[in-house]
Structure 1
Amino acid sequence: MGYTPIELDKVRNFRYGMKAISLIEKKLKAPIAKIDMDSLTMEESATLVWAGLAHEDKNLTPDKVMDLIDDYSTLTEVMKAMETAMEEAFGVAEEPGKNE
């Protein structure tokens, strides 16, 4: 499993392995497959980002993630990088009819 970098206070790397997914599920109290990624609150968005970055910074919290995004980036940029990392972790379903 690779890493997806994002520039915040420093280069940080998203990684969504089993531990990160478990952190998300515990914090949001729902299986990852049941989380509606299109209607996340800011706190839920920060939780997803935090879980993907926590592997390299044990002191990081969702609240600190919000500060990092506000101070060093934009929510749009960070969410795009997070989406790329999640697609890598879960694979991207191919559209029907492709590669046939």
Structure 2
Amino acid sequence: MANKHKALVEIVLDKPRTLRYDLNALAEMEAKLGVSLQELDQLTMGVKQLRTFLWAGLIHEDPTLTEHEVGGWVDMDTLSMVNEKITEAFQLATGKN
């Protein structure tokens, strides 16, 4: 379920969490992936990029999370759902469909 006012998207990983792509998350993604905000939505998503997107969307709740920890919550059975939730949250945050 999404909260469009705060651009929050619920996701169940190790426990229920929310994805949020605020300015801090976007800055972290730019730094980790080496691309600008304009290039983020054009990025070819491999597993490493997907993990970075997921991690960045979760750090608003817990800044101590690591990409490795977050990556351990996703397997082949949940990969598609995670990708859909990331896409939904990123589109809400950036206003792009």
TM-score by structure 1 length?
Answer: 0.81
Q: Does 1:76 align with 2:80?
A: yes
Give the CA RMSD over aligned residues: 1.7
Q: Which moved more, 1:12-21 or 1:53-62?
A: 53-62
Separation of aligned partners in 1, 2:31 and 2:92: 22
2:15 aligns to what?
A: 10
TM-score by structure 2 length?
Answer: 0.84
Larger Rg: 1
The runs of 4+ residues in structure 1 deviating greater than 4 Å are: none
Separation of aligned partners in 1, 2:21 and 2:63: 15
Using the TM superposition, give the Cα deviation of residue 87 of structure 1 relative to its aligned residue in structure 2, in angstroms. 1.0
Separation of aligned partners in 2, 1:63 and 1:75: 15
What percent of counterpart residues are identical? 32
Higher helix share: 1
Higher strand share: 2
Contact 2:7 2:20 in 1 (8 A): yes
Contact 1:43 1:62 in 2 (8 A): no
**Match for residue 49 of structure 1 among 35, 49, 54:** 54
Distance 1:92 1:44, change over 3 A: closer
Aligned residues: 91
